[in-house]
Structure 1
Amino acid sequence: MPKILVLYHSTYGHIEAMAEAVAEGARQVEGAVVDIKRVPETVPDDLARKSGYKMDQAAPIASVDELGDYDAVIIGAGTRFGTAASQMRSFLDQTGGLWFKGQMVGKVGSAFTSSATQHGGNETTLIGMIQTLLHHGMVVAGLPYAWAGQMTLDEITGGTPYGASTITGGDGSRMPSANELEGARFQGRYVAETAAKLHG
C-alpha cells in the first residue's frame, strides 16, 4: 500500500490544478494513500494579495521532516527564469537532514511544472528538480511516451518525458487543458504503480 505525497507550490492556481490531477491519477492505484500538501509561501501576505496570488488553496502546509514518511514524493512548481520557483527551492534546500540520514534513498521521486510559454523553461525546471531528487538517492519517474498525449500536434500543449507541464500564457489566463491534466493523471498513476512495485 504505497503512501504518496504530492507536494507543490502554486502562485495563481495552475500548479494547484495539476497537483489535484496528479493525486487523482495516483489514487487510481489500488491501495494507494495519497496526500496533497504545499510548501510555505515566502512572499509576504499583503504583497501576495496585491499581486493576485490564489490565497484560498485547501492543501495544508508540509514540513520537511514528514517527507521521509512517504514511499513516493511528486513535486510541482512553476518556472521562474528557467528554474523552479524560489518557494519550492527554499523548501528543498532545507532537506539536508533527510539527505544526511539517507531517508529518501530508494523512494520514488517525480516532478511537474508550468511555464508561461511553450519554450519558457519547463524542461530545465523539471531537470533541476529531478537533480535534487537524484541527490537524495530517489528512483526518478518521469512521464513516459506511453502517454501519447504529449506527442499531439492538434493543439498547443505541455507535457515532456521529464514530467507533466502546462502552459499558462503570458498573462496567466490559460488554465491547464484537458490534455495536460490527463498527462498529470497518467504521471500520478505511473508513480504510484512504480512505488507499489518497489515497496509492495
Structure 2
Amino acid sequence: MKINIVFYSTFGHVYEMAEAVAEGAREVEGAEVGLYQVAETLSPEILEKMRATDSKKRFEHLPVATPETLVEADAIIFGTAARFGMMAAQMRAFLDSTGKIWSQGALIGKVGSVFTSTATQHGGQEAAILSFHATLLHHGMIIVGLPNSETRHSTLDEISGGSPYGASTVAGNGPDTRRPTENELEIARFQGKHVAEITKKLVGE
C-alpha cells in the first residue's frame, strides 16, 4: 500500500504539517509512505527577497513530484499553502501538468486528501481545500476528509486550524511567524493515519 504526500511550502509550515501527516500514515501496518515537494516556480531572487530561501533549505533534500508520483500511489495526500482561498500557483502548475494521466484515467479510484495553511485565522483554509477537491474529482479520485471522531479540530481552547475538510495551520506572514501548534500537528497525524486506514480497506491489504 503506497501513500504519497505531495506538498508545496514557502516558509516550511506546510512541510512541517506534511511530516506530521507522514508520521500518522506510517502508523498503519503495510503503509509505504513517500514525501515529495512540488517544484518551485519563483526565481531564487524573488525567494531571497521574500526571506524564504533558508526555510526551503529544510526540505531541499526531498524529491520533486512528477505525474508518475501520483500514478504509483494508492493514495495521495496533498498539502499546499493557500493563496486568496485557493491552492498556491506552484501546486496549480503541477496539477495542470497531469493532463496526460487524466486522459488515461490513471488516478480513478485512488484516494485523495488535502491539508493547507493560511497566513490568518480566517484566510480561506476551508475554501482552499474545497476548491482543491474539484481537481481530485475530475481525476476520479475518492476524497477523504476528517471525520468528527477527530475532535481536536473543534477545540475552543486555542486558535487552531483543522476542519472536517482537512488539517490546516495558521502560519502568519513570513518565515519568523507562528509555527504549527501541537494541536494542529496532531490533527495532521490523524489525517495521515485515517487516509492510510481507508486506503488499506479499499486495496484489501
Is residue 183 of structure 1 aligned with residue 190 of structure 2? no
| Partner SS, residue 180 of structure 2 | coil
Alignment of 1:124-163 (within 5 A): 124-163=127-166
Q: CA deviation at 1:192?
A: 0.6
Alignment of 1:161-200 (within 5 A): 161-171=164-174, 173-200=177-204
Q: CA deviation at 1:171?
A: 4.8
Q: CA deviation at 1:46?
A: 2.2
Letter in 2 for 1:119: H
Moved over 6 A (4+): none
User: TM-score scaled by structure 2?
Assistant: 0.94
- For 2:193 and 2:93, the matched residues in 1 are separated by 27
| Partner SS, residue 162 of structure 1 | coil
User: TM-score scaled by structure 1?
Assistant: 0.97
- For 1:66 and 1:166, the matched residues in 2 are separated by 25
- For 2:62 and 2:32, the matched residues in 1 are separated by 15
Q: CA deviation at 1:55?
A: 2.5
Name stretches of at least 5 consecutive residues in structure 2 with no aligned partner. Answer: none
* Mean CA deviation greater in 125-134 or 166-175: 166-175
Name stretches of at least 5 consecutive residues in structure 1 with no aligned partner. Answer: none
Q: Is the 8 A contact 2:118 2:169 kept in 1?
A: yes
Counterpart of 1:31 in structure 2 is: 30
After superposition, the CA RMSD in angstroms is 1.0
| Partner SS, residue 55 of structure 1 | helix
Aligned-pair identity (%): 51
Q: How many residues matched?
A: 199
Counterpart of 1:45 in structure 2 is: 44
- Provide, for residues 104-153 of structure 1, a one-character-per-residue CA deviation record: whole Å limited to 9, x for no partner: 00000000000111110111100011111111111100111110001110
